[in-house]
Chains A and B, each alone.
Chain A
Amino acid sequence: MKKMFTLWFFLTMMMSGYAQTTINCEEQLQLVLNKVKEEKGMSGVYNHVNTLKRLSGLCPGEWLPDYYIAYFDLQLVLSKATDRPADLLQEAAEKLAVLKSNAKANASEVYTLEGYYYYAMIAQDPAVNGQKYFREVVAGYEKAIRLDPSNPRPQLQLAIFQNRMAAFMKQTDNGFCDKLQQLEQTFRDFKPASAVAPGWGLPELLYVRQNNCH
């Protein structure tokens, strides 16, 4: 009987502490990312951002939940799927500050996100913000490329930004399609560090190429 009570005691202890101690951050993150992929539109994504925030609280020191919070915030802003872009931009800026001081974070991915953040700022009001922030966009992506020349995301984002800037100034970026062609291979050669490491970009590349290169 004594042994049974001991067994019961340990089982109770394990179960009561289950939520706090048995979170596998990577697995949970994978689950959230899968759910985001299953979303048909962007409008439901913010629910998953909130899940990521809870995950971030349970996985102190892990950079990927914070990274994806900022990334999805910016995607929501850029897709105009939110009517509160200022809040999401503020949240993304706060997460960027946290990521920059996290030594575990992949600096190339963080600076890609910083360029992306300023790009989203410009998208809010191109006539006013374009002049203010275009250097930060370019500098963020270029720094990301320098930190990891094999990272295709900053290369793609920089190419897209420069192409749009040329269009804004009524000029043409003649090498854009060739650049996209090369980048597709860079994307295919790129091996993410883990199943949950940043791997986005290729669908956007294919979409942009389909619409710009014939």
Chain B
Amino acid sequence: MYRSFFLFFIFLGMQLAGHGQQQIAGVVTDVKGQPVEGANIYITGTLDGASSDKTGTFSFTTTQTGTVILGASYVGYKDFRLTAPVSQMGQLKIQLQLREKALEEVVVRASTFSLGKSRTLEKLDALDVVMTGSSNGDIYGALMSLPGTQKVGEDGKLYIRGGDNRETQTFVDGMHVLSPYSVTAQDMPARGRFSPFLFQGINFSLGGYESEFGQALSAVLPMDTKDVAGSTKAGINFSPLSAGGGGSVAFRKSSLSANVNVTDLTLYNKVLPDRYAWKKPYQSLSAEAQYKTAVGTRGVFKLYTAYDRTAFIRTFADTLNHVPERDFRLQQDNYYLNATLKTKTRRNTHLFFGAAGSYVDNRYDNARFQHDNYHQNEQELHLKAKLEKNIVPGYRLSTGMEAYLRGYRAVYHDTLQRRLQDQQVNYQLYAAFVDNQVRLLPGLYANASGRVEYAQFSSAWNFSPRVSLNYLADRFQVSAIWGRYYQMPDNSVLAAPHENMQQSLATHYILGASYEYKGRLIKAESYYKQYDQLELWQQDMYHANGYGKSAGFDVYFSDETSLPRLKYNVSYSYNDAARLYRDFPVMSTPLFASRHNARMSGKYYFPALKTYAGVTATYASGRPYRDPNRDGYINAVDKDYFSLDANLTFLLSKQVILYTSCGNITGRQNTYGYRYAPLPDNKGVYQGAPVMASRNNFFYIGVFISLKNSSAYDVSSF
């Protein structure tokens, strides 16, 4: 018995001796041999550990014996692991390797401008949009200060890199918007329907975008609405041309936001008349609401709905077409509904489900003659489901499917109310897409993706492959992208007589590089777009026989840090575009494409005045047009365009902001080509008139008041 106890204590003593303290020490450096301060060095599965000091050295004791796993970690570096006997850890040299970014954190700058946060906590503010000199508070106006855009002042829409405006498509929370622009009278620039304050992130891709976004030949504008509102707030705004109000009510895990705005140009036109005669000036009512709620700890559900009504009566005579004076009346009702659910499973699979419905109803009375009318409506249902997952650390998969269900009808009654035209078209389009993002080597990323579409209208399948190769160093990026994109022709084309119509095709080739250093960014990109299967009017019907090309380059420089409180950017774009499409008899430069575009935009804060100033200067070389008095088709070039736009934002008090802007300060009479009579006069001359915006300058002054005492300088209702 005594012998047993003796042996037991011998064994126990040996065991306890084994739990004696061992010292672990060493130095932590990075790959350049520089010491890493603050690294966490520890024995895994225990609390034993220490931090490295300024020289990278560390030291601690442990009661562990035998073989252990030593770990070392620091933000931005890969975790270090060493499995060895603890007795051999007295003088360690640990070199930490820089951690490769997770694939979802990789931001490729090629062909893309991000005006807000998308995946990280970093963000710019919607105020950046509003304070862009040329924006007049409009997202599209702000985007026109970026390279690759072309100035088409008579309609105010986005024309990208030699592409038509409908080749750029807008998405809200990943879902398509059928009608993103407000409707206006002829030669009055349109504005976007959405307030910039609705969004937390605006990503603008000028080409080579992911295969998730189809049905856009030139560019996509995906915008993410804000997450669940944290605070309850309310505000009102008014100006000589508009009044509105709205706010958010925040609940525990959800929020409800709403906004109403009324615009009426009656007073504005009286004070600052434009070139038009208005029987009933432009009026609009827009209302929007959004409900957002957290779903569990990982998901968020958003339901957004908007309604707009626009109406005006303009009295005018079309002298070129010998049409007598009439009261042209337009009334548009636009409805939009968007519901999305984003969630993440326990295994980090991101799931997305969305549905969006758009309905636009346009009524034109006295459209061509007094007492005729034209009625047009379009509707679209867009459904989408998507899954994203990091399969392994260097490979991320994104896949999904979507469907577009579209309808269109246009009816024309003449002055005797006879139905002379009743066109309609309904079709569906189904698509599936796969996007593979792969890290090939440290800093070298490849993306191979594909999109398959079935267009019920033409009973045709299309495949859109896309490949990109990106090298991303710390500050420097270089990218090469090739991709094919399909888009259905416009509904008005599909409803017209046609034969063998197919989806239009654009093939993008993009080569770009950028360098970012301490808040300064320089980007240069060249591109080539090949168009095929464009709609072409031949023998009194449309065929898919059109084609074209657009080539050019963009250079962009922005600087946020050289001078305190000043942000500015300068850009230049060159474009050479030509097409054979629509009613073109020969390959010609499209009327919207100008060869040279340059812009300079700056924002400055004057602390003493509590004022932000934004200035934008835009230059575009003359646009081509057709002069029937000369030989050839598109045979003339208009004068150059120039506009200097500015705005001032005064912070009058915590609750009151005064916003002023002026478009085209110099008052230059910009023209956008010429329109000619279809027939020559008795002297054999085709009479023409320049295309001009309804007014040379546009002034705006508005007051934004926050009704909540605790909030300040907040003009956003959402």
Contacts and interface: CB of A to CB of B under 8 A. Distances in A.
The answer to whether A and B assemble together is yes
Contacts of B120: 93
B75 A87 contact: yes
Given A100-B297, A139-B229, A50 B711 contact: no
Contact of A142 (B121, B250, B651): B250
B8 A91 contact: no
Nearest to B124: A132
B710 interface: yes
B424 interface: no
Contact of B75 (A54, A91, A103): A91
B47 A58 contact: yes
A127 B37 CA distance: 29
Interface stretch (B11-19, B395-403, B430-438, B520-528): B11-19
B42 interface: yes
Nearest to B127: A131
Interface in A49-71: 50-51, 53-55, 57-58
A12 interface: yes
A171 to B, nearest CB: 7
Contacts, number: 123
A50 B41 CA distance: 8
B658 to A, nearest CB: 14
Interface in A73-131: 84, 87-88, 90-91, 93-94, 100-103, 111, 117, 127-128, 131
A165 B37 contact: no
Nearest to B41: A50
Nearest to B227: A139
B518 interface: no
B4 A4 contact: yes
Interface string B549-568: 00000000000100011000
B7 A1 contact: yes
How many chain B residues sit at the interface, stated as a range, is 35 or more
Interface string B115-132: 000001101110100000
A128 B40 contact: no
B230 interface: yes
Interface in A163-205: 165-166, 169, 171
Interface in B17-37: 19, 37
Contacts of B19: 15
A101 B4 contact: no
A200 B528 CA distance: 60
B75 A90 contact: yes
Contact of B230 (A87, A142, A169): A142
B474 to A, nearest CB: 14
A156 interface: no
Nearest to B255: A143
B231 A127 contact: no
Interface in B676-718: 710-714, 716
Given A134-B712, A135-B716, A101 B38 contact: no
B654 A171 contact: yes
